[in-house]
Structures are given as structure tokens and as C-alpha cells.
Structure 1
Amino acid sequence: VAEVLELIQKFEPHGVGARDLSECLLLQLKHAGRLCPNTERIITHYLDDLGRGRLAKIAATLRISVKEVQRMAEVIRTLDPKPGRQYAGVNDVRYLIPDVTVEKINDEYVILVNDGNSPRLMVSQIYRDMMSQPGLYSAETKQYVEERLNSAFWLIKSIEHRRLTLYDTARCIVEAQRDFLEKGIKYMKPLNLKQIAIKVGVHESTISRVTNNKYIQTPQGVFELKYFFSSGIESVSGHSCSSLGIKRMIKEIIAEEDELRPRSDQQIAETLRSRGYQISRRTVTKYRLELGIESTAKRKRY
């Protein structure tokens, strides 16, 4: 059994046949010729500390510098904890067809609803003819056909009404988010279902249903319609910025920071306040976590 396992562990992708995560990572480094004694010790005994950013503790235990631990940590992060995953669902290719398209024509945004995503229904002429020749059919048959025709007309009307509601919803979103379409995510404005519902003239639950799993193609890319609904923060000048725009600013601030002295959440909040946005440290922390960005301590380089 051991010989068979050793043979399997030589297969690609490297790391398959491992008995646990540590062995999986070690196999990948071994095949790449990058396995050194300290890296092996870290993977075997200190993966949890590494994941929690306890670089100083690992360095003290191994009697090496924090900088060296960080260098090895960066190598470990390039490894794949699930190497077989790359072969999962290779034939499961899905194409997204937007329900609405927004195009700019002569400085105006034109909204096009993709009717291909909705069924095209019509009433058969046979049943129309049956109603125009009542003498050929019994009263019972005539009543049955009439009821079915009314149901069909109601369904067709409902589908058309839903299409028009989708169009009106997209139009109102485009009107509200014109700056986003022109300049990008930092110019996204706060928007909620109630605001759009009032403009369209329907209940906000209707807007929620009509935007559910619906996508819109814009000059800035393809987005789910619900993407445009977000809370916001007021600036001292009275302008509002959506939470998505604030998140983009936080991401840019962190991208530009000195890796040796990364900014704390409090410093990021102060930077945003200097730009006129009244935001707390707690909100910055919340947005940073939602962006999947690590804490100051874990971003620090030595």
C-alpha cells in the first residue's frame, strides 16, 4: 500500500494522494525543488500560527528573522491546498446573457431589454376561430375555450407588464447612476429599492422581484441589477458616496501604502475624513473585511 501511495504522489497535479494538508503542501514544494528544512518545519508544526499571522512567534521558535519567515510564508501561499480542484467541472462552462443592455448613443443612454430571455407567447388561431363560430360547438365547449383564452391573455399581459417594469427599473437605475456609467465605481451613488419603486410607481417588493437574478450590461461591465442598490456616506459638501465607492477608495488607499508601515483602520478613516467623508474606524474595519483585505499586522512586511 505504501509503495502504491508513493507512486500516486508522483502524479500530477503535484500534491494529490496526500494524507493531510501539510503533506499536500510539502509534496508540491518537494516536486518544485523548493523545500528547505525551515519551510518544512513551518508547514509541519506551525501552519495554524502562520494562518493567524504569528510570524514573530515562529521566528523566535526557529531562531530566524521575521523577514525570513515572511519570505517562506509567501512561498507557501503560492501552493494549492486542493490541487485536484483544477480538474473539477472543466466542462461546466456557463455563459451569462444579460437581461438588459445599456448603450450610449449620441450622449444619451439607451436601454434595451433582451426579449430572448422571456418566452414568446401567442394564442393559437384555432381557438380564436372556435370563438368566432359558436354555432359549431356546444355551450360547454365554448365556455371552456373562453376560460382558457382569458387565462392565456392574462399570462401574455403579465409577461409584457413584467418586461415593461424591468425596462422602467433599468431606466431609473441608469438615471440615478449616470456618474458611475461615465466615471466608474467611485462615483456610484447610494440607492435603495424604495427610491426606484417610487419612480416606477410600484411597491418595492415588486422591484425586488423584478431585479432578482437579472443582469445588466453597461459600459463599465456586466452587473447584477441588485448591485446598484447600496447604502452610502455623506460628505461634508453634501454629496453622497455609495458603500461600493467607499470600498474602492479603501482598496486604493491600502494599495498605495508603505508595506513596511501599513495603515491602520483608524488612519484609513482619517484619510477618508480628510477627503470629506465622515466615516468611523469601525465602518472601515467592516468594509476592509468585506473586501477580504487582511489586518495591518498581516499586511506588514519586514
Structure 2
Amino acid sequence: MRLGYGLSLEQTQKLIMTPELRQAITILQLSALELSTYVEEQLLENPLLETQEESPDTKEEAEPPVERESSLEEKWEVDWQDYFHDQDENSVRQERVVLDEKQRMDPFIAAAPTLLEHLMEQLHVQKVTDSSLHVAEYIVGNLNDKGYLMLSLEEIARETNVSLETAEKALVFVQSLDPLGVGARNLEECLRLQLPLLPDYPSELSEFLKYLEDLAAGRLQRIAHALKIPLNRVQELADLVRKLDPKPGLRFSGPGDVRYVVPDVVIEEIEGEFIILVNDITVPRLGINKAYRDALSHDEGTDTRKFVEQKLNAAAWLIRSIEQRRLTLYKVADAIVRWQTEFLRHGPRHLKPLTLRDIAEEIGVHESTVSRATSHKYVQTPKGIYEFKFFFANSIGRGHNNDSSVTTESIKLALRDIIASENLKSPYSDQKLADLLKTKNMEISRRTVAKYRDELGIAAASVRKRY
């Protein structure tokens, strides 16, 4: 083998992730609220950017500057005609829609406060001594997400430098706060704290809570024998226990959870036609600051002109990326409306199987673009507010005419209906449920039935049975 040096030419293609492309991808993935924050940050960083009020008087002032500076465009990196007069974008560009007060409020869904915030607020309006308040705050700060206390009284007393009696009084005080059940050290104590929520609860219910393990295992006969009560009475007590919350802390949001959801797209049906609105009313309209235009007439090569051109290019990319995001969201929503028209009119039972690839092929973009455009975004429909990913329903089993047109959501709804109509003295087993679904052209396995039943929060047949 001979080794040597040589010179050759080779042509290759590479995708270079420029800062501008990276910014466009970032903007595409942002939700409406995140985009508002991002734009505010860019307004602080780029002096050429300014907000514009959308009105008949100001709208005309936003466009002409592009034409007046047309003689300088050839020397800029950005083609303004491409950014602001693209025919494809103009064909779907939407005017800012003024919603009435009711419509403005509907899209906002407020989440619950955190458990810590909820309990601290109650502590600070109660009449307690400073020492007890200090211990109570320590206890509240050491509750887990479910609302349970993971420390012993001895540890609390030692860490807060108080007596065991003071620590116990502080715990009793915390356990009296809303929601009842917080501060418990185990499941039995949690449920016992909630007994006052049951009006006129039977006396044997307190003793019944000692047999939670037997109840979970379905050993109702053993409980009946131990308490010397009939089997149907055991079931009545079990039904009462199920009205209590075993994890009272989970009804509150976590520290990092989003508190409000704002739909990025609104779909309304007006006179039988679906209208799509990209909801960007929280995002400021951007324009170019006129005060910096004089700098472009200076001699080429000056530091001032270079600075202005650099910031102008950055501003143009930002404005274009925001417009491109709006266009992509509109196209995706428009395609979803065509695919899921039956759902929009009749509800979740009529949701059709749909994939990212289906939408990508229809609007002529890559599958990853659809994924980014719909990630963590919500759409308001006549049937409620849903995440975009809800519409990308998986196909499973067989539908009518043996085609794969049955979605997971429709199977779950059918499963819920079947169980709701069963005879409680002889509830359907998972295999029987699978057989009944098959008669509805929904062919899935017994294990899949059990999985969907668990996801719906429906107990097994042995627990549903009534004597």
C-alpha cells in the first residue's frame, strides 16, 4: 500500500444552525405568554425595536417606511419586501380581533395555589402565639406534595427547640387547617381527620379505618367478621371512605406549575363555518424606531451605521419569525379543523386518528415543524380548551369496515359507558369488557382494557361488586 498526499475537491451539503434560524425555532416553540415575555426582553436589548398600537390610523404608518427606504434595501442583509409583503403570509394574515369582556375571560384557566401558600395564608390570620406559629410554619414547610408530614414529633421539637408538648399542639393546629387531612403521618390518620366532612357518619366507621389494608385487598368478608357486621354494611362503609381524599395535597399546584393557560388559537363556529383566530393579543406589535433611520444616510463604514444595520437585521429577523410563527399556527389549526370537524361539532367520541405526519404533509412542512408549533400550546374550541396534542389521537384496534379509525379516547368513552350500565351485583370482568368492546368494532386485549380502566380511575370488578 502506497501512502501519499493528494489534493481533491469534494462537494457536500451541511445544515448550519445560524443564530437567526435558532431564534426562529425558539419563537415557534413559545406559547402566547412565553412569546410576550420574550418580545419584552428583545425590546430592552434592541433599540431599533418599538411597540406599535394597532389602529386604523397607525396601521398605515407601520408599512410605508419599508417603501420609503427601498433605495437602501440592497445594502442591507435583510430583504424587507420578503419579510413584510410576502404574498403567502398576507393571504392568511389576521387583523387583531377585539373580543368582548366575556370572551377575554373565558380562555384563562386559573390553577389552584400551592399547598404551602394556602396553608401559610391561613396560619397568618389565626390567633396563635409566636412560638406556636414558628413551629406550625416549620411543620407546613415539611409537608410533602400529598400533604403528609414525614417528620416525627421528636424531630420537630428538636429542630424548633421547643418541648414535645408544644410540637404536638402545633401539629394539631396544622391538622385543623383546610383542607382537612393535611399534616397526617399515615393514610389512616389522614382519613380520620376528614371524618367531620361526612355528616352524621356511623360510629363504626372510625373502627373500620383500622382495616384499610384488608379493604384495599378486597378482603371484605374478613372485615365483616372482625367488626361483626353484614357484608353489605362493609360495602356501605367502604363507599363512605371513598368519598374522602387520601392525598389532599395533590389538589393544589406545584411550586413551578403554570398558573394560567392562555389558548394560542381560538376556533369558533359561526353560521356553520369554523373561524380560526391566532390569539396573540398579549404580544406587542413590533416596528422600527424612526429616530434611528437618519443614521442609515451616513457614510458607509461608520461605526454608527454598522451598529444600526446590525440591529436592523436582528429586528427584521425577529419580526419575520413572529409572523412565521403566526402563519404556521394558522396552517396547523386550519388542517386540524378539516381533519377533526366531527369532533368540533359532536365531541370527543368523534375524534379521528391523526398524526403529526398527516398535518405536515397537508401543509407542506417537516414533521418536526408541526411538533414544535404545537408543543405546550392550547386551542380553544366550541367543545372546550385542549392541548394541541389532544387532536393527534392514536389509532388502535379496528373500526367500522375493518379500518383503523378507532382512537384511544373513543374507546375510553365507550368503556366508561359500558361500566356505567353494568349490574353492580355482577360487574363485568376485564375480559368481558374486551368482548363487549369487540361487538362495537373496538378490538383490544384484556390487558389494554385494564390499563384504560385504571387511567379512567375505575376500580376492578371485585371492588365494584355490590352484595
Q: Residue 203 of structure 2 aligns to which amino acid in structure 1?
A: C
TM-score (norm 1): 0.86
Q: Is the 8 A contact 1:9 1:18 kept in 2?
A: no
Distance change >3 Å, CA 282–CA 176, structure 1 → 2: same
Distance change >3 Å, CA 210–CA 78, structure 1 → 2: same
Shift of 1:93: 10
Shift of 1:269: 1.6
Find out whether 1:235 has 2:399 as its counterpart: yes
Q: Pick from 312, 316, 326 the counterpart of residue 163 of structure 1.
A: 326
In structure 2, the partner of 1:203 is 366
Q: Distance in 1 between matches of 2:262 and 2:174?
A: 42
Q: Distance in 1 between matches of 2:361 and 2:282?
A: 26
Give aligned pairs, total: 296
Q: Secondary structure at the match of 2:281?
A: helix
Shift of 1:85: 7.6
Find out whether 1:34 has 2:201 as its counterpart: yes
Q: Secondary structure at the match of 2:285?
A: coil
In structure 2, the partner of 1:126 is 291
Query: Any residues of structure 2 matched to 1:135-154 within 5 Å, and which?
Result: 135=299, 139-154=302-317
Q: Is the 8 A contact 1:273 1:279 kept in 2?
A: yes
Q: Where do 5+ consecutive residues of structure 1 fail to align?
A: none
Shift of 1:176: 0.4
In structure 1, the partner of 2:420 is 255
Shift of 1:237: 1.4
Measured against aligned partners, the alpha-carbon deviations of 1:156-189 in whole angstroms (never above 9, x if no partner) come to 1011111110110111111100111111111100
Q: Residue 201 of structure 2 aligns to which amino acid in structure 1?
A: R
In structure 2, the partner of 1:180 is 343
Q: Distance in 2 between matches of 1:85 and 1:178?
A: 36
Q: Is the 8 A contact 1:26 1:35 kept in 2?
A: no
Q: Residue 160 of structure 1 aligns to which amino acid in structure 2?
A: E
Shift of 1:29: 3.0
Q: Is the 8 A contact 2:295 2:304 kept in 1?
A: no
In structure 2, the partner of 1:267 is 432
Q: Distance in 1 between matches of 2:459 and 2:282?
A: 41
Measured against aligned partners, the alpha-carbon deviations of 1:132-177 in whole angstroms (never above 9, x if no partner) come to x224x86222122112111110111011111110110111111100
In structure 1, the partner of 2:220 is 55
Distance change >3 Å, CA 209–CA 117, structure 1 → 2: farther
Shift of 1:224: 0.8
Q: Secondary structure at the match of 2:380?
A: strand
In structure 2, the partner of 1:43 is 209
In structure 1, the partner of 2:464 is 299
Measured against aligned partners, the alpha-carbon deviations of 1:80-134 in whole angstroms (never above 9, x if no partner) come to 4466888999xx9944321111111232211111122434222211223321x22
Distance change >3 Å, CA 56–CA 203, structure 1 → 2: farther
Q: Secondary structure at the match of 1:116?
A: coil
Q: Distance in 2 between matches of 1:12 and 1:289?
A: 32
TM-score (norm 2): 0.57
Higher relative contact order (CA 8 A, sep 6+): 2
Q: Pick from 220, 224, 240 the counterpart of residue 75 of structure 1.
A: 240
Q: Distance in 1 between matches of 2:184 and 2:446?
A: 43
Q: Percent identity?
A: 46
Deviates more, 1:146-155 or 1:52-61: 52-61
Q: Secondary structure at the match of 1:289?
A: helix
Q: Where do 5+ consecutive residues of structure 2 fail to align?
A: 1-164
Q: Is the 8 A contact 1:59 1:69 kept in 2?
A: yes
Q: Residue 378 of structure 2 aligns to which amino acid in structure 1?
A: Y
Deviates more, 1:47-56 or 1:22-31: 22-31
Distance change >3 Å, CA 272–CA 301, structure 1 → 2: same
